[in-house]
Structure 1
Amino acid sequence: MSFDQSNAPFMERLVFNNRLAVVIIFSLVSLFLGYQALQVRPDTSFAKMIPLEHPYIVNMLEHQNDLANLGNSIRIAVAIEDGDIFSTEYMETLKQINDEVFFLPGVDRSNLRSLWTPNVRWTEVTEYGFDGGPVTNHPSYTNEEDLEELRANVLKSGEIGRLVANNFKSSIIEVPLQEFYPNPDNQSELLRLDYKQFSHLLEEKIRDRFQSENPNIKIHIVGFAKKVGDLIDGLIGVVGFFGIAFVITFVLLYMFTWCIRSTVSVLVTTVIAVIWQLGLINLVGFGLDPYSMLVPFLIFAIGISHGVQKINGIALQSGGADNALVAARLTFRQLFLPGMIAILADAVGFITLLVIKIDVIHELAIGASIGVAVIVFTNLIMLPVTISYLGISKKAVERSKRDAVREHPFWRFLSNVAHPNVAPWMVIVALVAGTTCFVYQKNNIKVGDLDAGAPELRPDSRYNKDNDFIIQNYTTSSDILVVMVATPPEKCSAYETMEAIDQLQWKMQNLEGVQSAVSLVTVAKQVIMGSNEGNLKWQGLSRNQDVLNNAISRAPSGMFNAACSLAPVMVFLDDHKADTLKRATAAVEEFAAEYNTDDMEFKLAAGNAGIEAATNEIISSSELLILVLVYIWVGVMCMITFRSLPATICIVLPLILTSVLGNALMAFLGIGMKVATLPVIALGVGIGVDYGIYIYSRLESFLRQGMPLQEAYYETLRSTGKAVLFTGLCLAIGVATWIFSAIKFQADMGLMLTFMFLVNMIGAMLLLPALARFLINPEKVRKSSGSKLSH
């Protein structure tokens, strides 16, 4: 075949007439971005993981200086196996652990709480009035008399069930953290808390050290920082999954191409795409967090899928081309535009995630968009240029020639989905499946976590076992919803304020899913009762302001701020499941609507449960918007490409069906709609459209030749069906290895993406041609092609 490049598009001439320059530039950029990729480090923060613009979080940050221990903190439970906490062995170990924790980087030392800190106090009423002091009032506990005094102080402290276990076999160190803390070597410089390092310090200096020194001591650690540290450690293991996916892809690629040069070219250019993506995110100032660590997998899978289409096209063209350069140019001419449209659709799937006002999702969206953008250069441009130099093996070309002329029984059978008698049944089956799954997911899918503990981790993970220990041994859970009662200065102790807080506590304590509620009123009632010889009849609020002022003067720190303009109400929940949070926040909002005045406002919400509730609301409000935006943009891209509304419908409807089926699967498996799983929807749609674009672009080219629909679809399958099947397998394999991850949310994402990639492929191959039977007029397509050519 002679080659005339006079009709070649500008992009083709620019690339292939300057091949050497393209290779040199590509190599230099790869070296530079490879160096940048080596600088990427794990990076996360408390602020990145929460919706900073949500009213709950705005309120929390406004009052964060007045909310000690209610933001970013961890809890360390120190347990003794044989004996109880009232022993010299235990108290000395607890003291050493307390001192070690005190000097860990990022610890808010002024608000640290344990039996050994002076802010944990006891109070009692005597015949002489109130008496009290620190729970631990001796430098050490070496005799029975002191230990008995300690036992009495603990019983009078009110900390049983909160700081001290109900069975007296463990106690907790509450450790509030600072996102930024002074550099010990330079006090004017602030350092950012490194969650991975902090988690490792907890293991090395606390758990491993003290458990090895004393086998009778067991340590359990929970909290945001520990959870994130465990997530980062688990996600570093994705390198192993990447290696497994690489090896499997290599084998499948070779089985697809039967050409080692093609196989290596696709793999190398795709790995370079991943390197470029990592280098670019480092240049824009991003690191890798538990969510964005999954992006390189997706970029690898997407790159392989586009690479397969290019290699398949070059192999088909090589049979009639004079040389590898001509075959590469013809393939570039044929597939560059569909590839660009598919990649733009991929990018849209990521970009729409920007509507979720959470920084960690923003970074994922931007990083992934950068990743798919570089695939344009690596797999759409550099791969054909590479093959134009290396060529394809004769064995692969001969195999492609045989495939081009021989009859394919499987493709012939599959092309029947476009038959007039079969297509209606395909559409009916899709309609029934879609309707059934839509009703099921609408009634069963939940927003937020559906499991106790840390659902991001496996139920048998050490973190969740530690969390179970605390739940079983303490009355107050680690799931705290904090209602902030804001007043003018010196008004938090006014009778009207205290009475309203008391009403809120009563309402919350009688709500399903609430363990207890504690506030300034709790302390005031106890003090008033104590001032009246402990008579239970006096356990109430006095209308005398002097009595109330005296009552709150004995309240521990954290019950109200220095200006007496904020009094938090701490509501301890059974768990942080979606239904529990929704019920609790709805109750508070209903109460606030009734009781808020100009001088008193009940604000939601602080505490880990408040943050979870805010996140759930963001996810709930973003889910539909993201889907609508994705489908609108994908539809626009298809309209621009094919200039046909029926063609756009044929491509988009299978994607909508897959989204409905995916949501139904999430509901069936008990996977909640949350930060970790919401991106799956956008990614599945954005990437899944690739199949439809590649299939329809080939189908349209055969229809323009005057073929009837079923025959045109058979030729489409014969030329690109194998590549589409392989693309689906590569995309699925790239993420299927996640299913075996120690990180549950990664396993959930892997399962869902595998399902969506495969079902999108099946939908494109079965439903698209069936819809075309009703929506596409082959004669109109042929005439449209003729008019374009004459024009």
Structure 2
Amino acid sequence: MKTTQKNTSACASGTESVIERIFFHHRPLVILLMLAATLFFGYQASSIKPEASFEKMIPASHPYIANYLEHKDDLAGLGNAIRISVEHTQGDIFDKDFQETLQQVHDEVFYVPGVNRASLMSIWASGVRWSEVTEQGLTGGPVIADTYDGSPQELEKLKTNILKSGRIGSLVANDFKSAIIYAPLLDFNPDTGEPIDYQQFSSQLEELIRDKYESDSVKIHITGFAKVVGDLIDGASQVAVFFAIALAITFVLLLLYSRCLRSSIVPLLCSVIAVIWQLGLLKTLGYGLDPYSMLVPFLVFAIGVSHGVQIINAIGHESAKGANKELAARLAFRALYIPGIIALISDGVGFATLMVIDIAVIKDLAAAASIGVAVIILTNLILLPILMSYAGVSQKSVKKQQHVEEHGKHPIWNLLSSFTQRPQATLVILFAFALVGLGVYQSQDLKVGDLDAGAPELRPDSRYNLDNAFINENYSTSTDIFVIMVQTAKDQCSNYHTLDVVDQLQWRLKQLPGVQSASSMVNVAKQAMTGYNEGNVKWSALNRNQALLNQASITAPRGSFNADCSLMPVFVYLNDHKAETLAAVVDETEAFAAKYNNDALTIKMAAGNAGIEAATNIVIEKAQYEMLIWVYSVVGFLCLITFRSIRTVACILLPLALTSLLCQALMARLGIGVKVATLPVIALGVGIGVDYGIYIYSKLETYLKSGMNLRDAYFNTLKTTGKAVAFTGLTLGIGVGTWFWSPIKFQADMGILLTFMFVWNMVGALVFLPALASFLIKRQPVSSESEPQAIKQFDTAETQANKEAKVSHA
């Protein structure tokens, strides 16, 4: 044991590390530099603003999206668009005053920056026409005639034109009580040349349309990606409120934990500085904050608090043993900076593995999280102990710590340390196996994609989802459109063979559950054939006479084919965009395309909001397990090179893996799908949870090397590091638990999942890790009679180390 005591003393008080000398010998300069950096990054962060991009939300390299982008110019309006439904609450749309309002709304939308004016559609658009077959031949004209003056005769004529136009259910409601203005959007604001600011665009729609024209007799309903993002950004502004609530809760709990005001303020201050640096660096590097990465600053704050509590706990422990302010801070830094850096590197690299998901918004989130973790190394592992070397721990806190360590009872620590014994550890591991079975069973129901109609990111009773429900209930063509592209040679899109294949495709798709209808040039050709034959429905079919088909195709509305008739879109209108609905359409179309694709005709997917979401679901389904493999591989490798033991890696990672599995089961149970908003949660949970295991095992290893047996080593670990882990897990869980009341549903979902992962990662580190260690870690050859002596010698060595460190420091 003399050798052990000598090594312990040398480890604690010997030659200072180079890193420690650099920072603690120049404390004023370090503080001054970090203050300057905080002021600079604070200035940069003050100008960061929420932003969003339609193309950042989609997997740009997926074949479906590549097809859409290739033909984007020919499919104007089939990607990013808004729908504005103007409802007459006191009658139908054939009212002079209502039509004046509808015209004014159409004109107002026309001049909103970012609207693709050439593709704007409503019954007031000149390109929306009616047609019919008369004795004189084909005739037609705009739905709103040049002679329209609001008179009863003209209103009756308008009704007739609408009936002839075939726009009932798309631009006019089935009950004639509302009409839609369909506005495709550009990728940029033509006035500024900058990408569309969706928050500003959404605000303009509210101010120029809803607030201006909504009245007792007129009600406005607005849907579309731009409106969803605008509402998310507006709601996300409340993230600051929840951040403040979490800050207050953490401060109160930290004050109760440490019984020292200074020890409560300093770690919170350093964690807030980390957030400021993160936001400032994001702005400096050209990043913004989209709605899905707005929660990352809180995660950075949470990770900062987690590491800060460990340092404060270590400083209190050293102060209770008689070290002065500076020495206590130095000893805490010396003991924790290596496991702290390893834990933070594991966090950062783990977050960076999200880069494997080819969706720009997730890559941005990964960059934001990795940057945040990197700055914590400076703010919480270096700045925090330096500040505490001046502030110190209050005498009240020191006396409490001394009393607890000398006379305190530890029934909880005694219970947890008993899990290192084989009988209790066996029960814990059997319980873990039962949880694995439950997790596997429940997670079988886990779905990829949205599981609710409307915008699942928002509450079901949000204004957007109510607007979306109104449009789906009153129009035949839903807001969920899946577009299939049929490509042919030039001038061959109206070829009989092409139309016949598309007709068969439409019929097969319409048999699928969740599909409302399907339409294309085929429908126009059949309608024209009926018209050419005195309206006899027997002729509602494709005529093999190519000349007649070509003539019929001329009457097809804009958007039914491209300029050189080499591309024909097939519009599939869905009840919703749930994962199973989209998967059914994709599977049916792929099977059909495999049979009918040839050199003359190619069936491609996919455009429309539902088509783009189908591609996103495919990418996420593939990426979710690839991401987990990368996360656990990288974290496991870093733990391996740190502890140089496969057994140790298993002790740290297996509890995390159990938490990940149970999180998937919880998502399935709560009806939360794996999608852009929720996919990163599991990786973030692993990144934060690994900190607990690294800190606990690092301290446990120190006691084991001193000669203690596993139970006593773990008991002493719990009194220091374990106590901080338990406090951190519960505190952060309570903090994010407040998100449940957020108006943004995806934030509430993330709050539930992160609370679960914070708490379960803490339980895994405190309960499952020691149980695994009892089987995997080699036992020390110290008899039960000599264990108290080992503890006593270790305490004596540690006290002697402090004394020597004081002399060395002086």
Band of TM-score, shorter chain: over 0.9
Secondary structure class of the residue paired with 2:447: coil
Per the TM alignment, residue 5 of structure 1 is displaced from its structure 2 partner at its CA by 6.3
* Residue 67 (1) aligns with residue 75 (2): yes
Moved more, 353-362 or 339-348: 339-348
- Counterpart residue identity of residue 649, structure 1: A
SS at match of 1:182: coil
Corresponding residue for residue 209 of structure 2: 206
Per-residue displacement from partner, 1:482-519 (whole Å, max 9, x unpaired)?
A: 00011111111111111111111111111221111110
1:6 shift after superposition: 5.1
Which residue pairs with 1:414 in the alignment? 416
State the match for 1:608 in structure 2: 609
SS at match of 1:552: helix
In the other structure, the counterpart of 1:195 is 198
CA distance in 2, matches of 1:2, 1:429: 42
> Residue 566 in 1 paired to residue 583 in 2?
no
Contact kept, 8 Å, 2:337 with 2:381, in 1: the verdict is yes
Q: 1:642-653 residue pairs with structure 2 within 5 A? A: 642-653=643-654
Q: How does 1:337-736 map to 2 (within 5 A)?
A: 337-406=338-407, 407-442=409-444, 444-736=445-737
Distance in 2 (CA, whole Å) between partners of 1:417 and 1:171 is: 68
Pair 1:100 & 2:108 matched: yes
- The whole-number CA distance in structure 1 between the counterparts of 2:56 and 2:147 is 41
1:731 and 1:754 in contact (8 A); partners too: yes
Return the match for 1:118 from 123, 126, 130. Answer: 126
1:319 is displaced (CA, Å) by 2.2
Shift of 1:139: 6.3
Alpha carbons of structure 1 residues 147 and 413: separation in structure 2 relative to 1, 3 Å: same
2:389 corresponds to which letter in structure 1?
S
Asked if the contact 1:300–1:734 (Cα under 8 Å) also holds between the matched residues in 2, the reply is: no
Quote the offset at 1:83 in angstroms.
1.1
Give the alignment of 1:153-232 within 5 angstroms.
153-183=161-191, 190-211=193-214, 214-232=215-233
SS in 1 for 2:780: helix
- Cα distance in 2 for partners of 1:64, 1:321 equals 72
SS at structure 2 position matched to 1:41: coil
Query: Which whole-Å deviations, capped at 9, do the CAs of 1:637-689 have from their partners, x for residues lacking one?
Result: 11111111111111111001101111000000011111111101101111111
Name the CA distance, whole Å, in 2 between partners of 1:521 and 1:124.
17
Which whole-Å CA distance do the structure 2 matches of 1:421 and 1:142 have between them? Answer: 88
Cα deviation for residue 140 of structure 1 reads: 4.7
Shift of residue 401, structure 1, vs aligned partner: 1.5
Identify the residue that residue 282 of structure 2 maps to in structure 1.
281
In structure 2, C-alpha distance between the alignment counterparts of 1:119 and 1:233, rounded to whole Å:
35
Q: How does 1:742-753 map to 2 (within 5 A)?
A: 742-753=743-754
The residue that corresponds to 1:26 in the other structure is 34
User: Do 2:64 and 2:615's aligned partners in 1 also have CA atoms closer than 8 Å?
Assistant: yes
Deviation at 1:2, TM superposition (A): 12
- 1: CA distance, partners of 2:154 / 2:534: 28
Name the stretch that deviates more: 49-58 or 726-735: 726-735
CA contact 1:355–1:622 (8 Å) conserved in 2 = yes
Distance between the aligned counterparts of 2:439 and 2:412, measured in 1? Answer: 30
Match in the other structure for 1:52: 60
Aligned match of 2:793: none
Q: 1:3 to 1:66 in 2, by over 3 A?
A: closer
Give the residue type in structure 1 aligned to 2:157: E
Alpha carbons 1:92, 1:141 under 8 Å: kept:
no
Residue deviations 1:331-355 (CA, integer Å, cap 9, x gap): 1010001111111121123111111
Moved more, 143-152 or 6-15: 6-15
Query: Within the alignment, does 1:298 sit opposite 2:299 as a pair?
Result: yes
* TM-score (normalizing by structure 2): 0.94
**Contact preservation (8 Å) 1:297, 1:734:** no
Partner of 2:777: 776
2:198 counterpart letter in structure 1: Y
Structure 1: give runs of 5+ residues left out of the alignment. Answer: 184-188, 783-791
**1:299 & 1:361 partners in 2: Cα distance?**
16
Q: How many Å separate the matches in 1 of 2:658 and 2:669?
A: 17
Q: Separation in 2 of the partners of 1:68 and 1:89? A: 32
TM-score w.r.t. length of structure 1: 0.96
The answer for the alignment partner of 2:137 in structure 1 is 129
* Alpha-carbon distance in 2 for matches of 1:79, 1:200: 20
CA contact (8 A) 2:268 2:305 kept: yes
Which is worse superposed, 757-766 or 696-705? Answer: 696-705
- Residue 534 to residue 485, structure 1, CA distance change in 2 (3 Å): same
Shift of 1:191: 2.8
Matched residues in 2 for 1:6 and 1:348: separation?
32
- Out of 528-537 and 758-767, give the one that drifted further: 528-537
Superposition deviation, residue 3 in structure 1: 12
Q: Give the Cα–Cα distance (whole angstroms) in 1 for the partners of residues 323 and 246 of structure 2.
A: 36
Q: CA deviation at 1:318?
A: 1.1
**What is the CA–CA distance in structure 2 between the aligned matches of 1:35 and 1:707, rounded to whole Å?**
52
Which amino acid in structure 2 is aligned with residue 457 of structure 1?
L
Secondary structure at the aligned position of 1:421 is classed as helix
Distance 2:11 2:475 in 1: 79
Asked if the contact 2:681–2:754 (Cα under 8 Å) also holds between the matched residues in 1, the reply is yes
Unmatched tracts of structure 2, length 5 or more: 1-8, 784-810
Rounded Cα–Cα distance in structure 2 between residues aligned with 1:638 and 1:6: 26
Distance 2:323 2:313 in 1: 17
Give the conservation status (yes or no) of the 8 Å contact 1:92–1:140.
no
Question: What is the alpha-carbon distance in structure 2 between the residues aligned to residue 191 and residue 485 of structure 1?
Answer: 33
Aligned partners of 2:632 and 2:653 also within 8 Å: yes
Q: Give identity over the alignment, percent.
A: 56
Q: Which amino acid aligns with 1:43?
A: E
Q: Deviations for 1:106-161, whole angstroms, at most 9, x for unmatched residues? A: 01011100111111111111111111110101465431111110111111111111
Spell out structure 1 runs of 4+ moving beyond 6 A: 1-5
After TM superposition, the structure 1 stretch with the greater mean CA deviation from structure 2, 82-91 or 730-739, is 730-739
Q: Matches of 2:21 and 2:65 in 1, distance apart?
A: 54
The number of equivalent residue pairs is: 774
Which amino acid letter does the alignment assign opposite residue 198 of structure 1?
A: F
SS in 1 for 2:548: helix
2 CA distance for matches of 1:66 and 1:381? 57
Q: Give how far 1:781 is off.
A: 11
Q: For residue 163 of structure 1, what is the amino acid of its counterpart?
A: L
Contact 2:113 2:190 in 1 (8 A): no
Contact 1:404 1:719 in 2 (8 A): no
Q: Match for residue 806 of structure 2?
A: none
Moved more, 463-472 or 174-183: 174-183
SS in 1 for 2:687: helix
Superposed CA deviations along residues 304-361 of structure 1, whole A, max 9, x for unmatched, are 1110000000010112344211111111010001111111121123111111101111
- One-letter code aligned to 2:49: R
For 1:772 and 1:358, locate their aligned partners in 2 and report how far apart those are by CA, in whole Å.
39
CA–CA distance in structure 2, aligned partners of residues 61 and 485 of structure 1: 15
SS in 2 for 1:116: coil
